Amino acid sequence: MLILIGTVIALTLPNIEIPLLLENHWGGTMNIFGVVLFGYVGHSVIPSIAHGLKQPDHINKVSVWGVLIPLLLYVLWCLVVIGTVPKTAIEGLPSLAGAKSSGQPATIPLGLIVGGSVIILGNLFAVLSTMTSYIGFGFSLKEVYLDVAADRSQKMPSPAATLLVVIPPLVIALFKPGAFVNALDIALQMKASDSCKI
């Protein structure tokens, strides 16, 4: 995944235009705080990591680097996209507004500007990052179920804990595939309405 995102960023860097970075309204950055917080909720995996570490004193180092590396990559990714893809249509170029209105990820207009390989690599990265997040959270949640059962002096079979982790998201994905995106939209709308009240 690091190689994929690094390749996409490297392919895109020569296309960054400073005026595009300057024209954005950075004051609205806090409007997406809820989504960013949701994106970094990975800290819930830390107890599972601590449990699996052979040297528990490394938990601080693992936690800091585990958050810092994705944070830096996401910031760099955002700068690359914002610096390459215009917010609104300019001279027939694809735009972020156009991608949003048609439900496309940012990799589509980025790929149309930089080259088709960015679309493929960006979408491959999105699939892999979603899968690895699901697997990481799945193992963590399974451990939580087993720990809660043990704290209550009950024994939960490992397959039952696995089913509790796998079945709910599978049902939601099959019957309401847009639920995740809708939840992010709700978080954005709630944050935007809160910022209007301030």
DSSP 94: -
**157 compared with 64, residue with greater pLDDT:** 157
Is residue 74 one of the residues assigned to a domain? yes
* Spatial CB neighbours of 2, under 8 Å, sequence gap ≥ 6: 69, 73
Is residue 117 one of the residues assigned to a domain? yes
Q: Which of 66, 189, 75 is nearest to 133 (CA)?
A: 66
**157 compared with 63, residue with greater pLDDT:** 157
- The number of domains in the chain is 1
Measured distance CA(91)–CA(101) in Å, rounded:
18
Q: Which of 35, 9, 2 is nearest to 181 (CA)?
A: 35
34-85 per-position pLDDT tens digit: 556 655 555 666 666 776 777 777 778 877 887 788 778 878 888 888 888 8
Angle between helices 116-151 and 107-114 (to 10 degrees): 150
Q: Please check the confidence at residue 19 and state whether its pLDDT lies above 80.
A: yes
> What would the mean pLDDT of 156-174 be, rounded to a whole number?
89
Residue 58's Cα: distance from chain center in Å? Answer: 25
Domain that holds residue 124: 1-12+54-130
Is residue 27 one of the residues assigned to a domain? no
Three-state DSSP state, 108: helix
Q: Please check the confidence at residue 141 and state whether its pLDDT lies above 50.
A: yes
